[in-house]
Structure 1
Amino acid sequence: MDIVFAGTPDVAVPALEALAESEHRIRAVLTRPDAPVGRKRILTPSPVKTRALELGLDVIEADRLRGDVITTLRGLDIDAVAVVAFGAIAGPAALATARLGWFNLHFSLLPHYRGAAPVQRALIDGVTRSGVSVFRIDEGMDTGPVLRRRELDLDHPDVAAALEDYARRGAPELVTALDELAAGTATETPQTGEASHAEKITVADARLDFTEPAARVIDRARGTSPSPGPWAELDGRRTKLFGLTPAPEITADADPGTLRTAQNAALLRCGDGWVHVAWIQPFGKPRMSAADYLRGHGEIRFDPNTDQGA
């Protein structure tokens, strides 16, 4: 088939590469415009744009699917659009630009975790099995019928590892869905069961509450690492903590939020026990070993989390 690929971040690159190696013809790649990155706000192309140009593919840049971009897509005379984390909503005019429709690789088992942050929300919720779905985009929020789904473990240490894994494993599912569409053998199954929603992660979502059980603290840290980064306040200043893992052998007691050194490791007291902390990032400073930090500061205690809505 003649297709357009629509995607923007790193997680979309494996699918682009898989489609470039498939029998389908990528007529163009649709991605978000160059955006300022880093403290110096340097204008930087998206990972998908960078890879598309390396592959010799034409690139269309748009932050909204309307106006000239619709005209351009119509002029390509395409069969389908394959989407992975493009970052803009396709309305009726956009969806009508491809004969067979638009098809999205989503990182959950729909209808669970519809929305912008399915892997992050699933990790925060302590979900241990999730997966990927390829579905037809309609005018709802991830509500279209499913063509392919693959159940996968969700046992990753953080969002970055989970997304990298799901992007790699999901790419062949998207290719297969398009293969079946081209052959006329695709089966589209309406979504059934109770839906859940995965809104975009905010800084407030990343705040740790050390009165919660250790498992809950670890899950929230996993679901917000590396960005925006799990944090708590220390002397009124936001301090990030990374690499939280269980420490079930520790029996010492302390107030929740206490960070101390024991057995040559940094240990953090939670509501029902301790967790290991690998790295700490004090406000305005680079990330460093939590054990090294404690050697220079001694035992510390994070401020109580009084924001119950965080």
Structure 2
Amino acid sequence: MRIVFAGTPAPALPSLQAVAASAHDLVGVLTRTDAPVGRKRVLTPSPVAAVAAERGVPVVKTDRLDAAATDAVASWQPDLGVVVAYGGLVREPLLSLPRYGWINLHFSLLPRWRGAAPVQHALVAGDRVTGASVFRLVAALDAGDVYRELRYPVPRGATAGDVLAELAVRGAELLVQVVDDLAAGTAVARPQEGEPTFAPKLTIADGLLDFAQSAERVLDRFRGTTPEPGAHTTVDGQRLKVLAALRGPDADLAPGALALVGRDVVAGTGDGTVLLRTVQPAGKGPMAAADWWRGLRLHDPRVGS
């Protein structure tokens, strides 16, 4: 089949590479426009754009799948469209343009966590099993029938970045299986079952840790917002990013109270402690929490203060 691929960030790369290496013909790529990156805000092609260019695949960069994008796709004469984390909605008439329509690799077990940030929301909610689904794209958000899915037990301590990286690789294999099924005429899709939950894009505010909650809930939010948008708290009115944390030792600490236990900095929660391993104070680079602690000049330091 002739395939057009729509994707933008690094998690889409395993799928792009898998489609390119398959028995099918990758005829074009849609991706979002170059974005400013780094402190100097240098305009940089998306990861998908960069890899597609290396492979010599035609690329259209657009933030809106409008008439111009539809005309470009039509010129490629695709049999099937594939979407992996493009960052925009495919609407008519583009939705019906490929002969077999569009399929989408989504990083959740649908209908749970429809939307832009399924892995992050799954971990924040404390889901211990998540996965990936390949479904038929329809006009409604992530609501199409599912061709295949895989289940993935979340490893203890894994962050959203860890889980997304693993699902990106495993999901790419699942995606190509569905492409092969469609080409062979053996693909079977089933309607989604159950009550949908939704996963909108996270903001910086979603990374705020509430140490009045249980240690497990604090760590769920830490893992779900790491590396993006980033977990954080405040100490003496100064923002403190939390880059690495885990369940702490038993200690008699009030929620939010900080203490040095042995060589570890721990914070009290609603039912135990969280060990802060790596932090980043405002205006400084990442550092061991113990080094940060030694630089404090507070009599009674507290997170959230």
Q: TM-score range by the shorter chain?
A: over 0.9
The whole-number CA distance in structure 2 between the counterparts of 1:273 and 1:263 is: 16
| Superposition map of 1:57-206 within 5 A | 57-155=57-155, 157-206=158-207
Residue 240 of structure 1: aligned partner: 241
AA at the equivalent of 2:295: G
Name the structure 1 match of 2:276.
277
What's the CA shift for 1:255?
2.2
Alignment-derived partner of residue 267 in structure 1: 266
> Helix, strand or coil for the counterpart of 1:227?
coil
Q: Matched residues in 1 for 2:135 and 2:101: separation? A: 10
The corresponding residue for 1:303 is 304
C-alpha separation in 1, matches of 2:22 and 2:50: 20
**Displacement of 1:301 after TM fit?**
1.1
User: What is the TM-score with the length of structure 1 in the denominator?
Assistant: 0.95
Q: Is the 8 A contact 2:236 2:301 kept in 1?
A: no
**SS of residue in 2 equivalent to 1:226:** coil
Query: What is the match of residue 287 of structure 1?
Result: 286
How do 1:222-261 residues align onto structure 2 when only pairs under 5 Å count?
222-247=223-248, 249-250=249-250, 252-261=251-260
Q: Give CA deviations for 1:68-103 in whole Å, capped at 9, x if unaligned.
A: 111111111110011100011111111122110010
Map of 1:307 onto structure 2? none
The match for 1:308 is: none
Which amino acid is the alignment partner of residue 145 of structure 1? D
Greater shift, 45-54 or 151-160, is seen at: 151-160
2:221 aligns to what? 220
Unaligned residue ranges in structure 2 (runs of 5+): none
1:18 Cα shift?
0.7
User: Which aligned segments of 4 or more residues in structure 1 are displaced greater than 3 angstroms?
Assistant: none
Cα deviations by residue, 1:28-58 (Å, 9 ceiling, x for unpaired): 1111111111221100000011111122211
1:189 & 1:254 partners in 2: Cα distance?
A: 51
What's the CA shift for 1:278?
A: 1.1
Identity of aligned residues (%): 45
CA distance in 1, matches of 2:73, 2:151: 33
- C-alpha displacement at 1:237, in angstroms? 2.4
Question: What's the CA shift for 1:239?
Answer: 1.3
2:113–2:121 contact (8 Å) kept in structure 1? yes
Return the alpha-carbon distance in structure 2 between the equivalents of residues 46 and 168 of structure 1. Answer: 18
CA distance in 2, matches of 1:147, 1:213: 38
What is the root-mean-square deviation of aligned Cα atoms in Å?
Answer: 1.2
